[in-house]
Amino acid sequence: KSIVILVSGRGSNMQAIVDAAIPGVHIAAIISNRPDAGALGFAAERGIASAVVDHKAYSDRTAFDAALVECIDRFEPDLVVLAGFMRVLTDDFVRRYDGRLINIHPSLLPSFPGLHTHRRALEAGVRVHGATVHFVTPTLDCGPIIVQAVVPVIEGDDEAVLGARVLAQEHRIYAQAVRWFVDGRLRLDEAGRVRVADAV
C-alpha cells in the first residue's frame, strides 16, 4: 500500500512511521505546507520523495486545498496520514479522502480537541491524558477513533514533560494504526465506530 504523509514541522510521528518499516507499506511522499519543516530534511536523508505546498502562496483555503489535492494525487496513495499537519482542511478535501485519511491528536478525544492540549489537560487537573489516532471527518478532531494511548499525569508535570510522555505513545500508536489500515483490519460498524478485525 502506498502512503503519503502530510507534515508541518519536526515530523517525529512521520519518522516513527517510516522507521516502523511496516511490511507492505511504501512511503510514496512527504508533503509539507512549510518550506522550513524539519521533516523535509529527514525525507531527503532517507531518499523519500517530498514536496512543499506553501499555504502562504494561496489566497484562501479552497485554493490551497486544491493545490494540495493535486500534489497528493500525483502519488496515488491508498492512505493519507496527517502527522502534525497544522492546517484545517476544507470539507471537500476531507470527503475526497473519505475512509483513507487519518490524523493523530495529542489528547484522549473527545477531551481537548484543538490546540494546547497538554496545557489544558494540566489546567483541568485530569489524572490521565494521552493521544488518539482517528479517521478524519469534516468536524475537527472528531472522526471515528482507531486507537488511543493513556499516560498518567504526574505531580509536578509541566507542559513539556507531559507532552514528551504523550509523544512517545503517539509514535507507538500511529505506526500501529497504519499497520492495521494496510492489513485491511479497520472496519466501521453500523454506528460509525471503528472495529479492528482479527489478523488473518
183: Cβ–Cβ under 8 A, 6 or more apart, which residues? 24, 199
Residue 11 annotated as part of some ligand binding site: yes
Q: How many residues sit in the footprint of ligand GRF (CB under 6 A)? A: 13
> Over 184-200, what HEC string results?
CCEEECCCCCEEECCCC
Residue list 96-115, contact with ligand GRF (CB under 6 A): 104-106
Among 3, 5, 6, 12, binds ligand GRF (CB under 6 A): 12
Cβ atoms of residues 100 and 80 within 8 Å: yes
Q: Which of 3, 4, 5, 13 binds ligand GRF (CB under 6 A)?
A: 13
Task: Pick out residues in 58-97 that bind ligand GRF (CB under 6 A).
Answer: 83-84
Buried b (16+ CB within 10 A) or exposed e, 102-135: bbbbbbbbeebeeeebbebbbeeeeeebbbbbbb
> Is 171 known to be catalytic?
no
Q: How far apart are CA 80 and CA 70, in angstroms?
A: 13
Catalytic residue (one of 55, 105, 116, 134): 105
143 touches ligand GRF by CB under 6 A: no
Taking contact as CB under 6 A, which single stretch among the options 4-12, 17-25, 28-36, 176-184 is the one that binds ligand GRF?
4-12
- Smallest separation (angstroms) from ligand GRF to the CB of 137: 16
β-bridge partners, 113: none
Number of residues that this document lists for the chain: 200
- Positions marked active-site: 105
Which residues are part of a known binding site? 11-13, 61, 103
Residues contributing to the site for ligand GRF (CB under 6 A): 7, 9-13, 83-84, 104-106, 167, 170
